[in-house]
Structure 1
Amino acid sequence: MTATGATAETAAPAIAVGDLLLEMLAIPSPTGSEWRLAAALRERLAGAGFAAEIDPAGSVVATRGDGPRELMLLGHLDTVPGTIPPRLEAGRIHGRGAVDAKGPLAAAIAAVARRPLDPRTRLTVIGCVDEEGDSRGARQVATRPAPDTLIVLEPSGWEAVTVGYRGIVRAELRLEDALRHRAAPASTVADRLVALLARLQRDLDDRGAGRSSFHRADLRVTGLEVVGTGLREAALARLQFRLPPDLGSAALLDWLDRERGEAELLVQFAVDAVHTPRDSRAARALARAIRHRGGAPHQKVKTGTADMNLLVPRWGCPAVAYGPGDSHLDHTPEEAVDVEELERAVDVLDAALGGLSR
């Protein structure tokens, strides 16, 4: 690990959340290319009074205080691909990652920086790598002792707290056979693979009939390819399954193994759904803080997946997800967040950390 900086003062220098977010957005960090942002953020945090380091996975780990009770705020540095010129326009900050999830991470850093140090508490902010991939950063973090409370930094909107995410399985199905003339009556490998995919989707649709989006399983085909050697050909489908709490990844893969027939199955990544208690200490602290800021707190569950899915089963500590931004703008060309919402989220996190420190 490479460490810089130390905290000696009671309060760190103030951090303007909008300025920090624009700095972060100016450094592109698609999954697999987070190192420049990690290095810059480590230096920025060290200069703001944090003890900051880069962990073995490449994530930024920054701490204020040295008390026995650890409150962890964990976000991610990486974004999906796509360039959106960073800019402040009509009170909104635009850029790839403004919502998912540099905005929530910037809000947490600003909130922690302005918290007076409490001898009972240690505040840890982590910016993970590879959240949009296979959660390599979170897997490294999971080797640490469990914190007393975990707040995962994902967009929920400043008045909402997220208590659940669906699980995910990423896999490939491959079907290979001798090459056939295209005018022959027999089906090609592509025909057979497409028919298999249609049947899998029908079965999942039947299972999920009448259920909410969070409580149903979905299959999305993210890629199709046919390759040949002149004598043989293969059809390959890249798949993404989203899983509800009552369907674990092991059960989904058992079903897929039974149904795949002659197709080969390659599993790339799997994590189960997570649903944390609605009345946890973390959820109550954030609700009080939102109410104090003049908001109407409410809870939500998400149809996507986050590092919370990996860490909560490992640690078992009170956990929620929180952060500014409209998650419907995740991964879109319109990704942007209101400066006012960022500032409200900083206030909420500041107040919630104060409550959790007592």
Structure 2
Amino acid sequence: MSGERFDPIEFLERAVPIASNEDVGEMRDRLVETLESRGVETVVDDAGNTLAAKGAADPESHLVLNTHIDTVSPHVAYEREDGIIRGRGACDAKGPLAALLAAFFAVEPAPDARVTLAVTPDEELRSTGAAALDVAGDCYIVGEPTGLDVCTAAKGRFEGTVTLSGVAAHAAEPDSGANAIDALAPVLGAIRSFDDDRDDHPDLGAATLTPTMVEGGENSNQVPAACRLVVDRRSVPPETADGFREALESTLRESVPDGVGVAFALTERPTPFLEAFATDTTHELVTTLAQASRDAGGRGDVRTFTAATEASYFSPAPVVVFGPGELADDDGAVAHADREYVTTTAVRTAADALETTVTALVGASTVD
């Protein structure tokens, strides 16, 4: 079997029926089996990442191919009809994985080059695999459904809670306390104007800061001593999670009335937030993959990616997001939806484009 050319559609037909929304074990076993059946030494690290590499141990050029094997819940059953594969993971991201595997198997690295396949186990949850990934590449291709476009940038997503602290009192004597809920008015004003003096990113546009949940008060006849407001931040480079936290807390402290305390804390999580990233659109990685996509029959547009992705963990090294399938089409949501699908033509086109790109960047020759 190791001498046969890898068929990404055959792999995808076996992968999509495997539920990997609650436990990726069976899907990871299938991936390892696929790699090792073709003579590729494969390692599953302590974080559950599946790692395989070809080429020089100390390379001058190192390209990393990355995607994930987990899916969101619930699992959606596999169906195949008229060149369309349906089911959970069809486009997010087993279709991209199939295309990446085709390129990985087809390319023989140059003597001074290396290509690594790094597949993470929980991108849809906490990204503990990507956070622990110990692979230092010179550039990265991350497999996600992009409609065969090359995505060079994406906004980050942070989340945190504003806590307002006042003094409880009887509602009949409101001036004897400090009303934490009443302090929401200037806080919301400060949130609305937070980015007024900040420049838009040339590719990603403006950052956004959105209040999403609020909670406060203990009794209907009592001046509330506490109020909590959750905010959602969609960041643009060069803002970091820590930089955002410090800037917002400083701004809010200037907005609240005397007698009310204010604090802002990012939501606790076991891994770093997915921060914004942007790769130079003139970089060889971008131009090569975009041309390869067009030559293979894809759109090959260069644009931003609209969803959060583990690509941010690999920045500031050059990183792009690319793959078959769409997050949404003219009829609505595709990825994460009950109608998730990918076309076999798109998967084969992605595989051809990736093979051409990997060969151009790190390859010596293409295996027949």
SS at match of 1:290: helix
Shift of 1:299: 0.4
Of all paired residues, the percent bearing the same amino acid is 27
Structure 1 partner of 2:341: 336
Q: Does 1:301 align with 2:322?
A: no
- Counterpart among 148, 164, 184 of residue 153 in structure 2: 164
**Structure with the largest fraction of helix:** 1
Structure 1 partner of 2:286: 283
Q: Does 1:101 align with 2:90?
A: no
Change (3 A) 1:227 1:58: farther
Q: Does 1:273 align with 2:284?
A: no
Task: Determine the C-alpha separation between the residues in 2 that align with 1:236 and 1:295.
Answer: 47
TM-score (norm 2): 0.77
Q: Which deviates more from structure 2 when the two are superposed, residues 233-242 or residues 249-258?
A: 233-242
Counting matched residue pairs gives 342
Task: Determine the C-alpha separation between the residues in 2 that align with 1:18 and 1:277.
Answer: 32
Q: Does 1:40 align with 2:30?
A: yes
Shift of 1:20: 2.0
Structure 2 partner of 1:352: 357
Shift of 1:349: 0.6
Structure 2 partner of 1:56: 46
Change (3 A) 1:271 1:43: same
SS at match of 1:250: helix
Structure 2 partner of 1:18: 9
Q: Which deviates more from structure 2 when the two are superposed, residues 192-201 or residues 261-270?
A: 192-201
Task: Determine the C-alpha separation between the residues in 2 that align with 1:22 and 1:195.
Answer: 54
Question: Do the aligned partners of 2:181 and 2:217 also contact (CA within 8 Å) in 1?
Answer: no
Change (3 A) 1:217 1:197: farther
Q: Does 1:203 align with 2:193?
A: yes
Question: Do the aligned partners of 1:213 and 1:303 also contact (CA within 8 Å) in 2?
Answer: no
Letter in 2 for 1:57: A
Change (3 A) 1:331 1:189: farther
Shift of 1:197: 7.0
Question: Do the aligned partners of 1:12 and 1:113 also contact (CA within 8 Å) in 2?
Answer: no
Change (3 A) 1:311 1:86: same
Letter in 2 for 1:167: G
Structure 2 partner of 1:244: 236
Change (3 A) 1:295 1:91: closer
Structure 1 partner of 2:124: 132
Structure 2 partner of 1:6: none
Shift of 1:293: 1.7
Change (3 A) 1:201 1:333: farther
Task: Determine the C-alpha separation between the residues in 1 that align with 2:72 and 2:180.
Answer: 29
Task: Determine the C-alpha separation between the residues in 2 that align with 1:80 and 1:216.
Answer: 29
Change (3 A) 1:336 1:198: farther
Q: Does 1:28 align with 2:31?
A: no
Question: Do the aligned partners of 1:289 and 1:348 also contact (CA within 8 Å) in 2?
Answer: yes
Residues 159-189 of structure 1: CA deviation (Å, up to 9, x unaligned): x211111122122334567888999989998
Unaligned ranges ≥5, structure 1: 1-8
Q: Does 1:153 align with 2:158?
A: no
Structure 2 partner of 1:78: 70
Q: Which deviates more from structure 2 when the two are superposed, residues 52-61 or residues 109-118?
A: 109-118
Task: Determine the C-alpha separation between the residues in 2 that align with 1:29 and 1:174.
Answer: 38
Change (3 A) 1:45 1:34: same
Change (3 A) 1:342 1:223: farther
Question: Do the aligned partners of 1:161 and 1:298 also contact (CA within 8 Å) in 2?
Answer: yes
Shift of 1:87: 1.8
Shift of 1:346: 0.5
Task: Determine the C-alpha separation between the residues in 1 that align with 2:38 and 2:217.
Answer: 54
The Cα RMSD (Å) is 3.6
Change (3 A) 1:104 1:200: farther
Question: Do the aligned partners of 1:208 and 1:215 also contact (CA within 8 Å) in 2?
Answer: no
Residues 234-272 of structure 1: CA deviation (Å, up to 9, x unaligned): 655543311122544333212321316535433135353
Question: Do the aligned partners of 1:13 and 1:114 also contact (CA within 8 Å) in 2?
Answer: no
Task: Determine the C-alpha separation between the residues in 2 that align with 1:118 and 1:236.
Answer: 56
Task: Determine the C-alpha separation between the residues in 1 that align with 2:171 and 2:78.
Answer: 50
Question: Do the aligned partners of 1:152 and 1:320 also contact (CA within 8 Å) in 2?
Answer: yes
Q: Return the index of the structure with the highest Cα Rg.
A: 2
Letter in 2 for 1:341: A
